């Protein structure tokens, strides 16, 4: 199970089934659909399935996974997801994230991402961390660049440049 982490404005904690209403809202946001993809979550039941088969299953299997970002004030409420994950068929530890629209533009994802980067470096002793963005996702690419991630060489030219995913990597010093 991932730990709970505190930052100045946020509490980062594992998701639970009680987060289904929040998940239903977040994964149907226009930017999530455009830049991450359609998870076919159209009801609270679908959101429960997403939680159980996605983040909660990954916590049990790997001890990491996307976690909730609770804004601490004025009263605790989830505003986004951020965490470390591993995709099937890949050895890479990836940083994943998404915010509700009303929580963007305040540096909250930078705050959450720095906490998980620090955890990956200090606790998990990772040598590097990866991230993938849609080529047109400017906000996400600006975030990664500000966090110190480097853009890796582009995918082969036969891929459609509008939809190709960009691969970013952060190396931790030994
Ligand atoms: C990608 C995403 C998380 C970026 O969110 P964000 O709020 O822009 O990210 P940050 O936390 O880095 O905030 C930076 C913005 O907050 C502003 N800001 C305000 N106060 C700040 C502070 N104390 N510290 C840092 N930035 C601050 C910055 O100026 C910047 O605004 P700008 O983009 O207008 O220049 C968000 O757009 C999102 O959820 N998109 C949909 C899902 C998605 O695409 N996920 C990524 C898939 S790869």
* Nearest atom (ligand 1) to Cα of 109: 11
CATH number of domain containing 38: 3.40.630.30
* Nearest atom (ligand 1) to Cα of 35: 44
Q: In what order do the strands lie in the sheet with 128-134?
A: 5-6, 10-14, 65-71, 77-85, 94-99, 128-134, 165-171, 150-151
Q: Give the structural domain span for 51.
A: 5-171
Tens digits of per-residue pLDDT, 139-150?
999 999 999 999
What pLDDT, on the 0 to 100 scale, is given for residue 101? Answer: 98
> What residues contact 106, with CB distance under 8 A and at least 6 apart?
none
Enumerate residue ranges in the chain where pLDDT < 50: none
Which residue's C-alpha comes closest to atom 19 of ligand 1? 106
**Through-space distance between the first and last CA atoms of the chain, rounded to whole angstroms:** 26
Q: Report CA(153)–ligand 1 centroid distance (Å).
A: 24
Tens digits of per-residue pLDDT, 121-137?
999 999 999 999 999 99
Distance of CA 126 to the CA centre of its chain: 17
Q: Which tokens in the block code for residue 87?
A: 């995709």
Q: Which tokens in the block code for residue 99?
A: 């915010």
Ligand 1 and 140: CB distance under 6 A? yes
Ligand 1 and 97: CB distance under 6 A? yes
Q: Report CA(158)–ligand 1 centroid distance (Å).
A: 31
Ligand 1 and 99: CB distance under 6 A? yes
The number of domains in the chain is 1
Q: Report CA(117)–ligand 1 centroid distance (Å).
A: 16
Q: Report CA(51)–ligand 1 centroid distance (Å).
A: 24
What pLDDT, on the 0 to 100 scale, is given for residue 162? Answer: 60
What pLDDT, on the 0 to 100 scale, is given for residue 111? Answer: 98
Ligand 1 and 141: CB distance under 6 A? no
What pLDDT, on the 0 to 100 scale, is given for residue 165? Answer: 87
What pLDDT, on the 0 to 100 scale, is given for residue 155? Answer: 63
């Amino acid at each position: 199970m991932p730990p709970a982490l505190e930052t100045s404005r946020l509490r980062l904690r594992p998701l639970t089934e009680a987060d289904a209403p929040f998940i239903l809202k977040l994964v149907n946001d226009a930017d999530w659909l455009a830049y991450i993809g359609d998870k076919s979550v159209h009801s609270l039941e679908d959101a429960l399935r997403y939680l159980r088969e996605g983040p909660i299953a990954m916590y049990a299997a790997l001890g990491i996974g996307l976690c909730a970002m609770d804004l601490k004030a004025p009263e605790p409420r989830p505003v986004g997801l951020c965490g470390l994950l591993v995709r099937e068929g890949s050895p890479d530890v990836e940083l994943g994230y998404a915010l509700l629209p009303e929580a963007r533009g305040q540096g909250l994802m930078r705050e959450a991402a720095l906490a998980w980067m620090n955890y990956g470096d200090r606790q998990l002793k990772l040598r590097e961390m990866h991230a993938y963005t849609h080529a047109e996702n400017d906000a996400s690419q600006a975030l990664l660049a500000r966090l110190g991630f480097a853009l890796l060489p582009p995918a082969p030219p036969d891929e459609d440049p509008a939809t190709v995913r960009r691969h970013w990597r952060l190396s931790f010093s030994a």
